[in-house]
Amino acid sequence: MTQPIRVLLVDDHSIVRFGYQQLLVNNSEIEVIAEAENCADALSCYRKLEPDVVILDLSMPLDSASEEVQSTAGGLEAIRRIRSYDNNARILVVSGLDTNPYPQRAVQAGALGYVTKRNASAELQPAVIQVAKGEKYFSKTIAQLVDCEEEDYADNQLSQLTSRELEIFSMIAEGHTVNTIAEIMHLSPKTIHAHRANLMRKLSINSNADIIHIAMRSGILQT
């Protein structure tokens, strides 16, 4: 008898993890073996259990000390840390962020698949099975973004930002202060201010209100 695909669920909302459990439980080919709610716990679980597939959201805290601070920093960092530990790790992103640069950045970090949350009920099972084989799986709209030409990708304002600037952009858009961001990212407030100044220069904006406006337009924040 073939062994089931062992899955680690990573999402900071228990109700979301429960929902994924329900979508997978009736498939004998898949077994959820553990759950985690932040980046640090995800890496710890991966190192201990070495699951076949990791399902994770992009918006989550970095660690238990920052449980109330969600940002894409947590999800992207989780992908990077897990792939750094195991370059063959098979990671499937399930996220509500369905515009670039997030799908591009997730793939660049090492994700094999990317499913939008609105398509999860229909696509989660086949995505897990395909990613477990080491093959790519993307929702149709995500595939178009990931396969887009470089010049099309460059049209997105946020594509100009470095990974660190994008993380800080997201946290500012979500309402976090410079001091909070500095604490979460283990950087000095002076460094955060410098990144903030750089990203504002690249985006030709002048205030946090402009950051929020771009985040809403890009789908990072819901109106």
Task: Quick: pLDDT tens for 100-153.
Answer: 778 888 888 899 999 999 999 999 999 999 999 999 999 988 887 776 544 444
Domain with CATH 3.40.50.2300 in the chain: 5-146
User: Which 8-state DSSP code applies to residue 118?
Assistant: G
> Span 156-218: which CATH code?
1.10.10.10
Neighbours of 143 (CB within 10 A): 14
The parts of the chain modelled with pLDDT lower than 70 are: 1, 63-73, 147-156, 219-223
Q: Give residue 201's identity as a one-letter amino acid code.
A: R
Q: What is the pLDDT of residue 186?
A: 80
In this prediction, residue 159 carries a pLDDT of 75
Residue intervals in the chain for CATH 1.10.10.10: 156-218
The model's pTM: 0.74
Spatial distance between the Cα atoms of 146 and 134, rounded to a whole number of angstroms? 17
Structure-token match 């997730």, residue found: 106
Which DSSP string do the residues of 69-93 spell out, in sequence order? --BHHHHHHHHHHHHHH-TT--EEE
Q: Which fold has domain 5-146?
A: Rossmann fold (3.40.50)
**3-class SS at 107?**
helix
Q: How far, in Å, CA of 134 to CA of 20, rounded?
A: 21
